Chains A and B, each alone.
Chain A
Amino acid sequence: MDETQTKIKQFLSRFFKSHDLQPSEDIFALGFVNSLLAMQLVAFVEKEFGISVQDDDLDLDNFRSIDAISQLIARKSGAAA
């Protein structure tokens, strides 16, 4: 895992400590995401990676796994650069 993926994993692991989350695992299918986590996750990626999540990004596929979140961050960081 790269640094971005590691940070995402650290954040998500706070919410399900007993599971060793893998980069491609579907966090929705695992049942770990509820409406409380949804906005906290948005706040986390914005604060940690300095990006802005916007209306176009509201797609479950962007938040489905560590890999997906990492790709969203890469895309948004590229767009901002």
Chain B
Amino acid sequence: MNLELSAGQRAARAEFRAFAAAEIAPHADAWDRAEEIPRELVGRLRELGYLGSNVSPEYGGLGRDMIAYGLLTEEIAKGCSSVRSLLTVHDMVAHALARWGSRELRERYLPRMARAEVLGALALSEPNVGSDAKSVETAAVDDGDAWVLNGRKKWTTFGQIAGLFLTFAHVGGQPTAFLVERESPGLTVKPLRGIVGTRASMLAELIFEDCRIPKAQLVGRVGFAISHVVATALDQGRYSVAWGAVGIAQACLEASRAYAAERHQFGVPIADHQLIRAMLTDMIVDVRAARLLCLRAGSLRQSGDPGAFMETMAAKYFASRVATRSANDAVQIHGANGLTEDYPVARYLRDARVTEIIEGSTQIQQITIPLFEFQEL
């Protein structure tokens, strides 16, 4: 397997890096404090084709290759994980829709998602349901020409500004997916504030009260939401989060390297102290290893290999833990300064913790990865 970047991928990475350094990283702390990103930024992401870039050219998308897609995610996350999470959820919905939506749904929504005229968000988690997705309490009932939804969704990333929610409900106990437009009668969107990590990801709670949607908004078939639609969306989400975690770890490394070189204690830069170097060494090696796992997953995804599911999960599991370890050490290297808003490393730590919880927690990966491994014994 060749994991070297092509000339085109290197050029794309340079473009993503320059954009994130100029237009994202300098503002990330302010967005974090404000708990929102500006609408103008969404406009810039749209203009540059960074949202929905995984949509096939058949629907007006760029159909960006999996490796370039990963590089985009890493560079955006290095600047701001909240912005990365916008790419994650929008692209998850687009991916699941492209995979399991009817022709009618694909033709109606994918061109608009490719142009980011409408933002997608995933409505899966509920007040009482996290990892145990098959137990969603939101219910959908067949009512002649419509589906009627009742229930509550929580932690919907970018729910505050999304226009389209890939929503999971049960139909008589069978998990089923629906595409719900924000303007649907009976849907109320309430902003959620005060989250600790990815604070600018504009979370929302969704309340469905006799929310009526047309029959055609069904995604996949009744009963196939978990095995296929959720599985597809979360697989895409894990790929995005894995690369995003690499971005956080890389940001930690760069911040720590700079700080260790300029900060003097005992008459020398702290980088000269061996215990600081040990932490830097772990970061350097961890981030390389995590990136290699992401590249391997990306390569398998690009070729449509069935093994891509397991490799993506492994990449997400490892990279998210690397992000947390690296951010923890980055704060340690920064000492008291690391606990202030004067340096970004405290934000990196808060954001890293999120990557171990979303799109399947670390513990869910620990349960599932061995199952994949034992499948073939």
Question: Residues of A at under 8 Å CB distance from B?
Answer: 11, 14-15, 17, 34-44, 46-47, 54-56, 58-59
Output the nearest chain B residue to A46 by Cβ-Cβ distance. Answer: B304
**Chain A residues within 8 Å of B8, by CB:** none
Inter-subunit contact A35/B226 (CB<8 Å): yes
> Which B residues between 286 and 324 are near A, CB-CB below 8 angstroms?
303-309
Given contacts A43-B309, A58-B228, 8 further A-B contacts (CB under 8 A): A17-B377, A35-B231, A37-B375, A39-B231, A39-B232, A43-B305, A55-B101, A55-B220
B32 on interface, CB distance cutoff 8 Å: no
**Chain B residues within 8 Å of A42, by CB:** 228
Per-residue CB proximity of B195-228 to A under 8 Å, as 1/0?
Answer: 0000000000000000000000001110010111
Q: How far is the CB of B190 from chain A (nearest CB, A)?
A: 31
Question: Residues of B at under 8 Å CB distance from A?
Answer: 100-102, 219-221, 224, 226-228, 231-232, 235, 303-309, 368, 371-372, 375-377
CA A41 to CA B375, docked complex, whole Å: 13
CA A15 to CA B235, docked complex, whole Å: 21
What are 24 A-B contacts with C-beta separation under 8 Å?
A: A14-B375, A14-B376, A15-B375, A15-B376, A35-B227, A36-B309, A36-B375, A38-B227, A38-B231, A39-B231, A39-B309, A40-B306, A41-B306, A42-B228, A43-B304, A43-B308, A54-B100, A55-B100, A55-B220, A55-B221, A56-B102, A58-B100, A58-B220, A58-B221
Inter-subunit contact B309/A40 (CB<8 Å): yes
Most buried by B among A15, A47, A58, A59: A58
**Selected contact of B102 from candidates A11, A43, A55, CB within 8 Å:** A55
Inter-subunit contact B228/A38 (CB<8 Å): yes
